[in-house]
């Protein structure tokens, strides 16, 4: 496992979501977190998997992932040679050549009852994801390509957590309704400002005032777009770099301004497709300097 599981802070905002997800997984139903980039889907999946106290298998979705990777495939051959020269005048050589079966990631997980995190599963082709239809419905992993085994029954503790970005994201495929129908689909949105500040503070050690400056500012930029970009990841980057490099988090500090521009311009530019980068950067700096509206 990566250290993503250790990074997740289960602040109160997440408590109901965590307990509901655990309930569904423990009663044998797969959970699917979907939402925009950077809202914490993967970190949450790792955190929940850890609570289940089972071995964890992680599958990363991508367009080249195939059933061969998931269930297994033949790869090369194994050779065995027996040379019998016991009687000096007789030389006997026996050779056995067998195709070598490479077991796929899912097989062990299904047999031993792992928690499988299938991260960004909509980046895999629908034909690859078909295998999960029978796995989730009949709790049997169909294995073909290998003459010996045809189906592996699921261990009772086997369960799955899926994550995905919405379909309009580049590089995702339309998911089969039949697969979505087998999942408990939970939308994850950006947490509220106070929660985001608390997470960033705990992760980086910056002060409450500094966290407020970053999160309020990034939130003002979000209002120009769909509300979720720039993500919490961007706010965390700014906080983390500023803290590690001792850059004063202050709107008038030139180094801090440059850091914010470097992290944020790429995310804000798409909201203004007709504007030059320079104009977008001016707007970002204006928002950086702006006082928060009194609430
Ligand atoms: N509750 C949290 N505690 C600690 N860190 C968090 C929390 N939520 C999100 N993060 C941090 O926010 C960033 C984005 O999280 P994560 O990668 O889980 O998001 P995601 O929704 O899976 O994004 P993507 O769709 O781009 O993969 C990471 O740096 C992660 O550690």
Residue 247: CA count within 13 A, CB half-sphere: 20
Q: How far apart are CA 128 and CA 65, in angstroms?
A: 7
- Give the distance (Å) from ligand 1 centre to CA of residue 41: 6
- Give the distance (Å) from ligand 1 centre to CA of residue 78: 44
Total-model pTM: 0.85
42 CA to centre of own chain: 4
For residue 38 the two structure tokens come to 């950077």
For residue 12 the two structure tokens come to 């109160």
Backbone angles phi, psi at 100, to 5 degrees: -100, 125
Closest residue by Cα to atom 12, ligand 1, is 233
- Please report the atom of ligand 1 found closest to the CA of residue 195: 1
pLDDT in tens, 245-267: 999 999 999 999 999 999 999 99
- Give the distance (Å) from ligand 1 centre to CA of residue 51: 18
Residue whose CB lies within 8 A of the most ligand 1 atoms, among 3, 190, 195, 233, for a mutation test: 233
pLDDT of residue 168: 67
Closest residue by Cα to atom 5, ligand 1, is 8
Q: Is 67 in the pocket of ligand 1 (CB under 6 A)?
A: no
Closest residue by Cα to atom 23, ligand 1, is 38
pLDDT of residue 262: 98
pLDDT of residue 94: 75
pLDDT of residue 146: 63
For residue 212 the two structure tokens come to 């407020």
Closest residue by Cα to atom 16, ligand 1, is 40
pLDDT of residue 211: 97
Q: How far apart are CA 238 and CA 232, in angstroms?
A: 10
pLDDT of residue 1: 45
Residue found under tokens 């609570």: 51
For residue 144 the two structure tokens come to 């073909």
Closest residue by Cα to atom 4, ligand 1, is 8
184 CA to centre of own chain: 17
- Please report the atom of ligand 1 found closest to the CA of residue 39: 21
What's the chain's length in residues?
Answer: 295
Q: Is 17 in the pocket of ligand 1 (CB under 6 A)?
A: no
- Please report the atom of ligand 1 found closest to the CA of residue 44: 18
Backbone angles phi, psi at 120, to 5 degrees: 55, 50
pLDDT of residue 65: 93
Which strand ranges, in their side-by-side order, compose the sheet holding 56-60?
A: 56-60, 115-119, 159-164, 31-34, 184-187
Q: Is 38 in the pocket of ligand 1 (CB under 6 A)?
A: yes
CA distances from residue 29 to 21, 22, 158, 271 in whole angstroms, order as listed: 9, 10, 10, 39
Q: Which residues, given as ranges, of the chain have pLDDT below 50?
A: 1-2, 4-5, 294
Q: Which has the closest alpha carbon to 68: 99, 97, 106, 116? A: 106
Q: How far apart are CA 209 and CA 187, in angstroms?
A: 30
Q: Are 204 and 239 in contact (CB under 8 A)?
A: yes
- Give the distance (Å) from ligand 1 centre to CA of residue 287: 24
Q: Is 233 in the pocket of ligand 1 (CB under 6 A)?
A: yes
Q: Is 57 in the pocket of ligand 1 (CB under 6 A)?
A: no
pLDDT of residue 124: 93
pLDDT of residue 17: 96
- Give the distance (Å) from ligand 1 centre to CA of residue 7: 9
pLDDT of residue 8: 85
pLDDT of residue 26: 96
Q: Is 37 in the pocket of ligand 1 (CB under 6 A)?
A: yes
Rg (CA), the chain: 25
Q: Which has the closest alpha carbon to 240: 210, 288, 203? A: 203
CATH number of 4-68+106-187: 3.40.50.300
């Amino acid at each position: 496992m990566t250290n993503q599981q250790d990074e997740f802070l289960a602040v109160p905002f997440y408590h109901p979501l965590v307990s509901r997800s655990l309930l569904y997984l423990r009663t044998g139903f797969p959970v699917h977190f979907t939402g925009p980039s950077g809202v914490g889907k993967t970190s949450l999946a790792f955190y929940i998997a850890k609570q289940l106290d089972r071995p964890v298998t992680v599958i990363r979705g991508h367009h080249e992932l195939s059933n061969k990777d998931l269930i297994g495939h033949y790869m090369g051959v194994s050779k065995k040679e027996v040379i019998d020269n016991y009687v000096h005048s007789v030389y006997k050589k026996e050779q056995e050549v067998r195709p070598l079966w490479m077991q796929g990631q899912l097989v062990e997980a299904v047999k031993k009852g792992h928690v499988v995190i299938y991260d960004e599963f909509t980046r895999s082709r629908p034909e690859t994801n078909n295998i999960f239809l029978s796995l989730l419905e009949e709790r049997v992993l169909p294995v073909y390509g290998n003459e010996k085994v045809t189906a592996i029954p699921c261990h009772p503790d086997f369960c799955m957590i899926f994550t995905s970005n919405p379909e309009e994201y580049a590089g995702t495929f339309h998911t089969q309704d039949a697969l979505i129908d087998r999942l408990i689909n939970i939308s994850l949105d950006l947490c509220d400002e106070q929660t985001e500040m608390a997470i960033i503070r705990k992760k980086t050690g910056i002060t409450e005032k500094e966290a407020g400056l970053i999160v309020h500012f990034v939130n003002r930029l979000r209002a120009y777009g769909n509300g979720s970009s720039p993500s919490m990841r961007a706010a965390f980057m700014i906080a983390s770099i500023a803290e590690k490099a001792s850059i004063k988090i202050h709107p008038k500090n030139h180094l801090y301004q440059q850091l914010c521009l470097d992290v944020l311009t790429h995310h804000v530019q798409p909201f203004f497709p007709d504007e030059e980068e320079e104009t977008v950067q001016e707007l970002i700096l204006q928002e950086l300097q702006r006082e928060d509206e009194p609430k």
